[in-house]
Amino acid sequence: MNSIQESIKMRGTTICCVRKKNQVAIAGDGQVTLGDTVIKHGAKKVRSIRDGSILTGFAGSTADAMNLFEKFEAKLDEHGGSLTRAAVGLAKDWRTDRYLRKLEAMMIVADAERTLIISGNGDVLEPDEGVAAIGSGGAYAKSAAIALVRHSDLNARDSVSEAMKVAADICIYTNTSFTIESLES
């Protein structure tokens, strides 16, 4: 990658998902950057689909993520709404398709029973502790969320909100314009 391409490389996004008791919540910040410039403050990187039964969040290139949302929804249709089968199908296509392999994004998807991280390497991972996070501030949000799940009485929605605030305080590519979606199991 040449220096011009490197200087305008898109960075950022923090997506965090917390599962606690009978609730799962996913949050994403709204910041979109291009190089060292903030382009947008209120992007929506988290969505509720399938009449609110599935939550999704993406980190990475916006155009790539939109493509992945569409492909994931098609996989859900193809696999009768099964989250796991749709995630595995998307990961397989993502890893083997020449066009999809070039996409620079990751996804977290969750339903009432499980949370999965999907990557372009063909990974479909179910994280421990009921916490998943991706993106530039993902490690900060995950650490805070694990502590909150273990040591607080906050529900999943409040825990993910507080974890995202910690990430926004530390990661320069994460802002406090959060979108949060949740569902009860």
- 3 in helix, strand or coil? helix
Catalytic residue status for 13: yes
Residues 6+ apart with CB under 8 A from 104: 10, 60, 61, 64, 120
Of the candidates 13, 33, 115, 179, the residue annotated as catalytic is: 13
What's the Cα-to-Cα distance from 160 to each of 78, 130, 136, rounded to whole Å? 31, 11, 16
Torsion angle of alpha carbons 150, 108, 43, 8, nearest 10°?
110
Q: Is the separation of the CB atoms in 183 and 157 below 8 Å?
A: no
Nearest to 58 by CA among 17, 13, 95, 94: 13
Distance CA 12, CA 75 (A): 27
What's the Cα-to-Cα distance from 31 to each of 87, 95, 178, 185, rounded to whole Å? 26, 28, 9, 30
> Which residues are marked as active site?
13
